[in-house]
């Protein structure tokens, strides 16, 4: 009798273990599937994006990695690649507009460029609007000896040729603030005050600034105060470690959780895009770490 009871106990234990193993396997499969398709749970105070050019991997691969982290947007994608974003249900928080004839060094501060820029930007505004995206990047161009006030006046004349069309299409033209000290020598829109003066001169809610935290730390510092004082003119933010433009972790001089908190407290509803150049072999791990740093509670 004792031997029979022992046999029954062994059978019950084996059945229990098998059942538990099956349940665990099923749960693991469900978790894995959820992780691949839904993405990681983020706190929701910051809308995250990532700049495509920094990662040197196919856009489709970046979309898959971004979704797994919980990032819904890829920055600086041109219209020719919008179909890839749509395929992965991604948005583009800032549309690229660099072309062969114009870009960072040749922009709206030069009157001779305005005819081509008007034609060029009408096309890009159309493509941005058709895709359901909202923000389109633009640049001042280099000074080339031009004084600050003349640059504002020239940019205003050029932008006012297309701003009513942008308003009609519900697209915002966003001029990026870049540093002229290290990366973009002679670029004119290199201080927040100059960009804000241009916004006031253009006089449209559909023209604003891209506040690049990396660039403005190099040019003027006082990042949190400048964000608080000028947030009404800012449509978008980019990140980057200073110095070096690498990871935004403890290896650099900015404390990004405090900066994100300041951005959130202004009532900002747009996107913050990671635009640092990963220095580690596992670039996606660096991106995941940056999102965790910026994903404030």
Q: What is the model's pLDDT at position 102? A: 83
Same domain, 118 and 27: no
In the chain, how many domains are there? 2
Q: How does DSSP assign 180-246, residue by residue?
A: TTTTSTTBS--SHHHHHHHHHHHT-TTEEEEEEHHHHHHHT--HHHHHHHHGGGEEEEE---TTTS-
Q: What is the model's pLDDT at position 242? A: 98
Mean pLDDT of 42-48: 96
Enclosing domain of residue 87: 42-294
Q: What is the model's pLDDT at position 41? A: 84
- pTM, two decimal places: 0.86
Same domain, 34 and 47: no
Same domain, 153 and 210: yes
Q: What is the model's pLDDT at position 28? A: 35
User: What is the overall mean pLDDT for the chain?
Assistant: 90
Same domain, 46 and 32: no
Mean pLDDT of 38-66: 92
Q: What is the model's pLDDT at position 37? A: 39
Q: What is the model's pLDDT at position 1? A: 47
Same domain, 132 and 250: yes
Buried b (16+ CB within 10 A) or exposed e, 74-83: bbbbebeebe
Chain segment 101-126, per-residue pLDDT in tens: 789 999 999 999 999 999 999 999 99
Chain segment 135-185, per-residue pLDDT in tens: 999 999 999 999 999 999 999 999 999 999 999 999 999 999 999 999 999
Question: Which helix H or strand E contains 2, and what residues bound it?
Answer: helix 2-37
Same domain, 51 and 23: no
Same domain, 121 and 259: yes
Same domain, 89 and 235: yes
Same domain, 16 and 131: no
Q: Is 38 helix (H, G, I), strand (E, B) or coil?
A: coil
Same domain, 17 and 53: no
Quickly state the pLDDT bin for 63 (edges 50, 70, 90). very high
Burial of residue 59 (number of CB atoms within 10 Å: 0-12, 13-18, 19+): middle
Q: What is the model's pLDDT at position 193? A: 98
Same domain, 261 and 174: yes
Q: What is the model's pLDDT at position 98? A: 79
What CATH number did the domain enclosing 189 receive? 3.20.20.150
If one compares 17 and 268, the residue with the highest pLDDT of the two is 268
Same domain, 7 and 79: no
């Amino acid at each position: 009798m004792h031997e029979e009871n022992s046999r029954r106990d062994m059978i019950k234990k084996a059945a229990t273990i098998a059942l538990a193993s099956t349940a665990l396997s099923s749960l693991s499969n469900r978790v894995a599937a959820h992780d691949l398709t839904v993405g990681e749970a983020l706190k929701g105070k910051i809308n995250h994006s990532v700049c495509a050019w920094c990662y040197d991997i196919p856009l489709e691969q970046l979309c898959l990695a971004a979704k797994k982290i919980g990032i819904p947007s890829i920055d600086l994608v041109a219209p020719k690649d919008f179909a890839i974003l749509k395929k992965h249900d991604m948005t583009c928080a800032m549309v690229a507009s660099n072309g062969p004839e114009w870009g960072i060094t040749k922009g709206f501060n030069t009157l001779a460029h305005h005819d081509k820029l008007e034609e060029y930007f009408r096309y890009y505004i159309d493509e941005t609007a058709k895709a359901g995206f909202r923000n389109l990047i633009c640049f001042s161009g280099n000074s080339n000896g031009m004084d600050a006030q003349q640059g504002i006046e020239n940019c205003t004349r050029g932008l006012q040729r297309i701003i009513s069309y942008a308003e009609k299409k519900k697209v915002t033209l966003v001029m990026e603030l870049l540093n002229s000290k290290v990366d973009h020598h002679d670029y004119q829109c290199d201080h927040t005050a100059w960009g804000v003066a241009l916004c006031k001169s253009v006089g449209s809610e559909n023209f604003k600034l891209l506040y690049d935290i990396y660039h403005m730390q190099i040019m003027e510092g006082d990042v949190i105060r400048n964000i608080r004082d000028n947030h009404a003119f800012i449509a978008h933010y980019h990140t980057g470690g200073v110095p070096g433009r690498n990871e935004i972790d403890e290896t650099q001089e900015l404390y990004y959780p405090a900066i994100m908190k300041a951005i959130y407290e202004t009532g900002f509803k747009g996107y913050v895009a990671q635009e640092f150049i990963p220095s580690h072999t596992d670039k996606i791990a660096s991106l995941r770490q940056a999102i965790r740093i910026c994903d404030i509670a």
